[in-house]
Amino acid sequence: MPEHSLPLRIHVSLARQTLELRDAAGRLLCGYPVSTAARGAGEQNGSHQTPRGRHIVRAKIGAGCPIYTVFSARRPTGECWTPELDAAFPGRDWILTRILWLSGREPGVNRLGAVDSMRRYIYIHGCSENAVLGEAHSHGCIRMRNRDILQLFDRIPAYTPVEIT
């Protein structure tokens, strides 16, 4: 069976700061360094932590946009990230290139009420080229290199399962 027709799944390891794309048989298709929350794991709204558990990619945002497209409220701002733009806005939490918006699948754990990942706007997204990956530094989202998020975005369909452990 061709690889593209097998159901895919994503695993994010908070301990290893990695994201792996696997097929239905569990075979590793590709892996990437990521950065999850500097404040560690947690599900509460306002915690700035990365939620654990079973999720799905509820929406894929940014198809066709150029690499380094800057997003605000899930919409392109018309800007493309550059080192000069980065220097003009120190400390900005850049959401770049593509967004995979996650929705929790476990009521009371990461779905509904004060623990709803989607209402917390938890994404897998591109980040500044200056951002550190392989270490926990984000505000709750899962940050990836821009070329990596482009590759992942193009390989997976919406509703791909995501497990964060």
HEC profile of 54-121: EEEEEEEECCCCCCCEEEECCEEEEEECCHHHHHHCCCCCCCEEEEEEEEECCECCCECHHHCCCCCC
pTM of the full predicted structure?
0.94
Q: What 3-state class would DSSP assign to 7?
A: coil
Classify domain 3-164 by CATH number: 2.40.440.10
Instruction: Domain ranges for the chain, please list them.
Output: 3-164
Over the stretch 7-27, which tens digit does the pLDDT of each residue have?
999 999 999 999 999 999 999
CB of 101 closer than 8 Å to CB of 63: no
| Phi, psi of 154, deg, nearest 5 | -75, -20
β-sheet bridge partners, residue 36: none
**pLDDT tens per residue, the chain (165 residues)?**
444 455 999 999 999 999 999 999 999 999 999 999 999 999 999 999 999 999 999 999 999 999 999 999 999 999 999 999 999 999 899 999 999 999 999 999 999 999 999 999 999 999 999 999 999 999 999 999 999 999 999 999 999 999 999
Burial class for 79, CB neighbours closer than 10 Å (0-12, 13-18, 19+): middle
Question: Tokens representing 72?
Answer: 């605000």
